[in-house]
């Protein structure tokens, strides 16, 4: 084997080795490229999922907000209706005729838990009080009447505003239940 043959063998071996290195490099490059594409697809999928999650969260927030607003609107409407009922009650009290006012005063006197010496009353009620049984004082600031005890320490207020407010506090729940039976 001559020098030329050895040279050719070495060159062939170098070519084979270079070819093998090129193939391995190409395989590695293809594998890296494949892994990069898979990673890119995973990132895209994660981003899609995140966007979908955000959209769903926003949708839930919007629905929840709309439900809250609907509940608040419904509650406000119920409150308005309840106030309307109490307003009508107040108007009915103000529109009592003379006989109804007289009965109202007499019932209040009967139910008083103390001896009455004086009745303070607005102009609308002065006329229906029996002045032969009770001292009556005209009080134009009052919208109704007040029963006063002998010593003046006890008073029972029957002003229309006081009656309506008391009725609201004591019967608001019952009135609401009757109005809004579902």
Neighbours of 171 (CB within 10 A): 13
Report the distance separating Cα 60 and Cα 46, nearest Å. 21
> Does the pTM of the predicted model rise above 0.85?
no
Backbone angles phi, psi at 69, to 5 degrees: -65, -40
Average pLDDT over residues 7-20: 82
b/e map of 15-47 (b: 16 or more CB within 10 Å)?
Answer: eeeeeeeeeeeeeeeeeeeeeeeeeeeeeeeee
Q: Where are the domains of the chain?
A: 96-179
pLDDT digits (tens, 9 = 90+) for 100-154: 988 988 899 888 888 888 888 888 888 888 776 767 777 777 888 899 988 888 8
Give the percent of the chain with pLDDT over 70.
Answer: 98
Pick from 125, 130, 122, 120: which is nearest to 155 by CA?
A: 120
Task: Report yes or no: 118 and 137 within 8 Å, Cβ to Cβ.
Answer: yes
HEC profile for 33-60? HHHHHHHHHHHHHHHHHHHHHHHHHHHH
CB-based contacts of 43, cutoff 8 Å, min separation 6:
none
Report the distance separating Cα 92 and Cα 80, nearest Å. 18
Pick from 156, 47, 167: which is nearest to 105 by CA?
A: 156
> How wide is the angle at C-alpha 29 spanned by C-alphas 23 and 33, nearest 5°?
145
pLDDT digits (tens, 9 = 90+) for 48-102: 999 998 999 999 999 999 999 999 999 898 899 999 988 999 999 888 889 998 8
- pLDDT of 134: 67
The CATH topology of domain 96-179 is hypothetical protein PF0899 fold (3.30.2320)
Backbone angles phi, psi at 128, to 5 degrees: -100, 0
């Amino acid at each position: 084997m001559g020098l030329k043959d050895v040279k050719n063998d070495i060159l062939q071996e170098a070519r084979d080795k270079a070819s093998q290195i090129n193939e391995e490099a190409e395989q590695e490059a293809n594998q890296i490229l494949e892994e990069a594409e898979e990673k890119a697809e995973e990132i895209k999928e994660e981003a899609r999922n995140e966007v979908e999650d955000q959209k769903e969260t926003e949708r839930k927030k919007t629905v929840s907000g709309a439900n809250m607003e609907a509940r608040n609107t419904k509650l406000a409407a119920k409150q308005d209706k309840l106030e309307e009922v109490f307003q009508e009650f107040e108007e009915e009290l103000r529109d009592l005729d003379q006989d109804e006012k007289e009965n109202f005063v007499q019932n209040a006197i009967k139910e008083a838990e103390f001896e009455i010496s004086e009745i303070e009353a607005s102009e609308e009620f002065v006329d229906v009080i029996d002045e032969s049984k009770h001292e009556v004082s005209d009080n134009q600031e009052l919208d109704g009447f007040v029963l006063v005890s002998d010593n003046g320490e006890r008073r029972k207020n029957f002003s229309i505003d006081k009656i309506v407010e008391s009725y609201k506090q004591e019967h608001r729940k019952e009135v609401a239940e009757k109005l809004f039976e579902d």
